[in-house]
Amino acid sequence: MRHPARLRTHLSALALAGLTLAGTTVALSAQAAEAAGCSVEYSVTSQWSGGFGANVSVTNLGDPVAGWTLTWSYPAGQSVTQAWNATVTQSGAQVSARNVSYNGGIATGASVAFGFNGSWNGSNPAPTSFSLNGTACTGNVGPTTTTTSSSSTTTSTTTTTTTTTTTGPAGSLPSSFRWSSTGAIIGPKPDSTHANVAVKDPSVVYHNGKWHVFASTYTTGYNLMYTSFADWSQASSAPHTYLDRTAIGTGYKAAPHVFFFAPQNLWYLVYQTGDNASYSTTTDIADPQSWSAPKKFYANGMPQIIRDNIGNGYWVDFWVICDTAKCYLFSSDDNGHLYRSETTVANYPNGFTNTVIALQDSDRNRLFEASNVYKVAGKDQYLLVHEAIGSDGRRYFRTWTAPSITGPWTGLADTESNPFARANNVTFPNGAWTRDISHGEMLRSGVDQLMEISPCRLRFLYQGMDPNSGGDYNRLPWRLGLLTQTNSAC
């Protein structure tokens, strides 16, 4: 998004999904009969003498569920001693994890994660089967048996554990993409103090049966808005709340990014404030009045490496993603550079440092702004989505993949002729209302800091505008539309 003035302990890591059990992630997938099915990833995130921490991520492959209970049996006498993001009870070897008030709904293809501490004696093998609401997650993808070795960091004892592993969500990202787009489904809703001309830069999560959308608005300057609805057919009629009427306050705020930081049980709204990356927090995403006042990520302002490379660009579009140990903050400079800073999960949101250039292009238009980085569920793969300006002056997206957040990044669909999303690979059944596929966000399979997406039937909420519009960039009539992938392999 370009504007001329844009300028604890082990507990912290335990709520993270997609982690490893001494180097091996246990993933159990199933498509149950008819409308019931599930995928489970169980991971031991840390282990010490007599104790361990674990994370469980559940993906719903069937019809949406309004409440869930996951059950499994421990094979070696392990016990759960403390849990978060779920209510966990145990009777003998049988364990039952039930949703808490804020994470009971799981949409089709969406995920929910919880973590816990446990005790063990002798060995700590992973469970071999799970059931979600009574449906066994035993998999119709053929399992493979692997033997792996792990060492405790607190003892010299080495144990060998045999685990059964299957893939997460079936299918992989294709090497080229095809999409179908809605019309403009979210546009301005002016009121007495917001004669706004644009809604843009969306961020979206699905939580407790509703889609929660945050976006930039522009009247005489930029600020943020919020809307929510149960179904995308309701998006255009859902009311808007302007966040300058909350503790977030007036003044320049733009390009929001929302997610749930599980180690702290807090929602974070990350956004740009011109001279810094800023954030607000809440315990209730559905209450827009509950967001806290802004705080800055970078105590010393713009890192020197950005000052040295930004040229006449702008520092914009901040994005947070975490793995098992660290959280990373990405940003762009409208000058061909993508930056990455890091801090530990335990220290987040403080301590971002070690800022580096993660990706660069000598043609600033080919690596302009609006980066998203996602974990592909069930795979050791990350997807980077980045906005570019095409040779026709229209916005589009390029993509890369990597085995980790820190790269190395390899082009996937990264050209004008083979883009991730551009007017030439999008159909518009109701008429081509835009030729720009600009700043947006994927519909994630979860809500937390892992930024997971399913590789199947991707959806992307984006900004577009009337192709005949022109003039001052900040006053362009951006609206939001929704892309749905039409060439999914699964």
List pLDDT tens digits, range 416-463: 999 999 999 999 999 999 999 999 999 999 999 999 999 999 999 999
Task: Compute the mean pLDDT over every residue in the chain, rounded to the nearest whole number.
Answer: 86
β-bridge pairing 179-181 and 426-427: parallel
Of 144, 169, 187, which one is at a domain's C-terminal end? 144
Residue 256 lies in a domain: yes
Quote the pLDDT of residue 170. Answer: 54
Our count of domains for the chain comes to: 2
Quote the pLDDT of residue 434. Answer: 98
34 — pLDDT class (breaks 50, 70, 90): very low
Q: 218: number of CA atoms within 13 Å, CB side?
A: 20
Q: How far apart are CA 213 and CA 221, in angstroms?
A: 20
Does 323 share its domain with 427? yes
Does 393 share its domain with 252? yes
Does 260 share its domain with 315? yes
295-296 sheet: strands from edge to edge: 254-261, 266-272, 277-282, 295-296
Residue 18 lies in a domain: no
Does 332 share its domain with 277? yes
CB 482 within 8 A of CB 182: yes
Tracing tokens 């001693």 back to the chain, one arrives at: 81
What is the tens place of the pLDDT at every residue in 161-198?
A: 333 333 345 579 999 999 999 999 999 999 999 999 99
Of 93, 121, 144, which one is at a domain's C-terminal end? 144
Q: What is the pLDDT averaged over residues 464-477?
A: 95
Q: How far apart are CA 428 and CA 158, in angstroms?
A: 58
Does 285 share its domain with 394? yes
Does 93 share its domain with 230? no
Taking the model in full, what pTM does it have? 0.70
Q: 452: number of CA atoms within 13 Å, CB side?
A: 27
Provide the residue range defining the domain that includes 85: 38-144
Q: Supply the DSSP string of 283-347, one letter for each residue.
A: S-TT-GGGPPPPEES-TTSS-HHHHHH-TT---EEEEEEE-SSEEEEEEE-SSSEEEEEEEETTT
Q: 436: number of CA atoms within 13 Å, CB side?
A: 26
